Structure 1
Amino acid sequence: MLACLLATTLAATFVHAHLAPWHKGMYGLNGVTGSINYNTDDVVHPLYQLPQDQWWFHGYNGVPNFPPADGDFLELPAGKSFMVEIASNRGETTLSFDGDYTTDWPDGQNYPDDYNVDTCITSPNMHTQNETRAAGTAFAISYTSDIKQVTPANLIVFTVRYHTPWKRVTYYDVPADMPACPAGGCICGWGWVPNGCGQPNMYHLPYRCKVTGATSTKAVGTPKPPVWCENNPDGCTKGPKQMIYWNQNEGNNIQVDGLDAAGEPKSPAYNAKCGFPDGAQNDIFTGASSGSSSGSGSSDSSGSSGSTTNTKATSSSSSSSSNTNIDVDTGAKKVAVSGSSSSSAAAAAASASGSAKHVCKTRKARRAEAAERERRSEAFSMHRKRSARGF
């Protein structure tokens, strides 16, 4: 066990790792080796000057070949918000080590809320000087269940979060009119184009997703490439937009030159400079029926809309039969009894009872768990020391 853990922790060798939104519905969650790596950072590396088949969905290291587990989706509650954990390493999220190495920040460290570096913040590597200058990030959706069928022409940006990436826990808003996905779900993509402050690269990652609580049958339109339109809203692309593809050897859909209004080199991003409003993108629909099946499920989950500095939140399943929540800060499972049916309440009560019994462990079991926590801490500390030395 210890040897395996050491092998995974020592695999992360980048001094200033970049960032990605972690969720059980993502491709590459376990890494790209075929085995489970709880300390993987395979998805966070930037994309720059690559052919399209290598930058598309992080294809250069095979991320699209490692789908999430069956039944795992990034759930998008129509008219509400969903949460992801933006971090430089899976080990610094609640998806590994019971969340023991998480903080409010993406790299498991602590910084002041007004964190500012005049040149560039590199720990964590957010490509910005402070929160107000963070470029913005976005999620897009394609109404197909086959990742191989997704193209720039059918991947539509549906939500944007200004001033991100910043804190680990990040919420994105879903348009209320989002139609349901096909029975096998949809494919989503996450994008980030930093606003200078380092190499002018980009990030593009795939997720298996589904819209929950859908009541609308409006179809999403065909997206068009965004354009630079700073201080000229009439010149922005109207309606559904493609993601930003920039500074690659092929497949770019936007070109800029010259300086922006602040006197800095223009850098396209998911913000007003390219016509993206903050939050849900409510202009992506045509009004025609989507024809999608509404069997993708319903949702009563909700989140704090737009909160990127929320340090304590609960991620809940959208299914009415679900009774397990995950505390974002600790990763601990909490049982919540649903009032939807007596059978689900009984199941939840039984689960809670089992959890209570589990607390009453033998002294030997408690000693074994304490030893395991100590081994984890030593292994993770060794990883951080090696990273700091640049190995």
Structure 2
Amino acid sequence: MSRLALASLAFAAFAHAHLVAWTQGMYCKNGTDAGVDNVNNDAPVSPLYQLKYSDYWFHGVNGCNNFPPADGEFLELPAGGSFTAEIADNRAATTLSFNGAKTSDWPDGAWHPDGYSIENTADADASIVHTQNESMAAGTAFAISYTSDITQVNLNNLVVFSVRYMTPYKRVVSYDVPADMPACPEGGCTCAWMWIPNGCGLANMYMAGYKCQVTNATSTTPVATPQAPVWCEDDQSQCVQGAKEVMIWHQAEGNNVEVDGLDDSGNWRSPAYNWKMGFADGAQNDIFQNSGSQKREEAVLPSKRHTRRGHGADGKVF
């Protein structure tokens, strides 16, 4: 079978693996029809690929950024604690719809066996998590901007503050919040959830927006201006220290990361919210002004797999 045919088959198998983190305070949680509360909403989950800035930034492609949550509704971020998000392909598969009656342990609301992956099941729906197995899940992140006006958020003021390795995989995910997070301004902060899948389809990315509020804050030290992360899997001394930007990749404009070649497992490199780009698992405790020289938490690396698959220069799997 030709490489092109394999790419087509791979993309067909993974084309529906679209996920986002669902929480209170989320933009377009109710959909993108004014006045309609759509409990079967999947508007925020579509992937972002080769789009203009105005289309990928906070999922502007379908107007998600124009549908804020209700007044007073926030994603709460307890300083020094953690919060829970539900990663799913549709609001219906979360506790935000039908009182949770259509949920399961998995992002699609269906039943799947433990250790679910395309390596140990003939079920084509193993593609729901956009990864070959849990250990290869690329990692997801939350970022924060200390402005309540989403139109004023940009790469220079949106800082990654929490990362969870080996996600997305199961539906319920806990994210840790740095203890030194200062309080938000009046009107709250603006947060974003980010994910770049590790191959398995087009080399796209995901971005969702939230109105968020830091609770139990005791520190007044502001977050630092973030820098673009760099690939540092093979030399951790080259990782960017301190506050880091969200990663923009394979878009028509505004990309801030570029990678090429193979990673240490023999797969095509893909920027990810994990040690390969210098992100620790959990709270990003070095994001504050004058904290960039703090000792970075050592990453606990998952076992490496040697399946040769990934994406080439055209962004497709082969």
Question: Could you state the TM-score of these two structures normalised by the residue count of structure 2?
Answer: 0.84
The answer to whether residue 187 in structure 2 is matched with residue 184 in structure 1 is yes
Q: Give the 3-state SS of the residue equivalent to 1:91 in structure 2.
A: helix
Q: Which aligned pairs between 1:342-381 and structure 2 lie closer than 5 A?
A: none
Tell me, yes or no, if the aligned pair for 1:17 and 1:124 is still in contact at 8 Å: yes
Identity rate of aligned residues, in percent? Answer: 61
Tell me, yes or no, if the aligned pair for 1:135 and 1:194 is still in contact at 8 Å: yes
Structure-1 residue corresponding to 2:298: none
Code of the residue aligned with 1:102 in structure 2: it is T
Code of the residue aligned with 2:200 in structure 1: it is C
Which residue of 269, 272, 285 maps to 1:269? 272
Q: Give the 3-state SS of the residue equivalent to 1:75 in structure 2.
A: strand
Cα distance in structure 1, aligned partners of 2:124 and 2:203: 15
Tell me, yes or no, if the aligned pair for 2:131 and 2:137 is still in contact at 8 Å: yes
Quote the offset at 1:121 in angstroms.
Answer: 6.6
Quote the offset at 1:16 in angstroms.
Answer: 2.5
Structure-1 residue corresponding to 2:142: 139
Quote the offset at 1:127 in angstroms.
Answer: 1.3
Structure-2 residue corresponding to 1:154: 157
Quote the offset at 1:286 in angstroms.
Answer: 1.1
Structure-1 residue corresponding to 2:20: 20
Quote the offset at 1:113 in angstroms.
Answer: 1.9
Quote the offset at 1:24 in angstroms.
Answer: 1.8
Structure-2 residue corresponding to 1:348: none
Cα distance in structure 1, aligned partners of 2:98 and 2:127: 20
Indicate the RMSD between aligned Cα atoms, in angstroms.
1.7
Q: Give the 3-state SS of the residue equivalent to 1:218 in structure 2.
A: coil
Q: Which aligned pairs between 1:37-52 and structure 2 lie closer than 5 A?
A: 37-52=38-53
Tell me, yes or no, if the aligned pair for 1:195 and 1:269 is still in contact at 8 Å: yes
Structure-2 residue corresponding to 1:292: none
Q: Give the 3-state SS of the residue equivalent to 2:43 in structure 1.
A: coil
Cα distance in structure 2, aligned partners of 1:237 and 1:15: 33
Code of the residue aligned with 1:178 in structure 2: it is M
Structure-2 residue corresponding to 1:200: 203
Quote the offset at 1:183 in angstroms.
Answer: 1.3
Q: Give the 3-state SS of the residue equivalent to 2:222 in structure 1.
A: strand
**Bigger proportion of residues as helix:** 1
Quote the offset at 1:73 in angstroms.
Answer: 0.3
Unaligned runs of 5+ in 1: 1-13, 289-391
Tell me, yes or no, if the aligned pair for 1:228 and 1:268 is still in contact at 8 Å: yes
Give the number of equivalent residue pairs.
275
Unaligned runs of 5+ in 2: 1-13, 292-318
Structure exhibiting the larger radius of gyration computed from Cα positions: 1
Quote the offset at 1:231 in angstroms.
Answer: 2.1
The answer to whether residue 255 in structure 2 is matched with residue 252 in structure 1 is yes
Structure-2 residue corresponding to 1:83: 84
Quote the offset at 1:116 in angstroms.
Answer: 1.9
Which residue of 154, 164, 167 maps to 2:167? 164
Deviations 1:349-391 (A, max 9, x none): xxxxxxxxxxxxxxxxxxxxxxxxxxxxxxxxxxxxxxxxxxx
Runs of 4+ deviating beyond 2 Å = 14-17, 118-125
Structure-1 residue corresponding to 2:29: 29
Quote the offset at 1:287 in angstroms.
Answer: 4.5
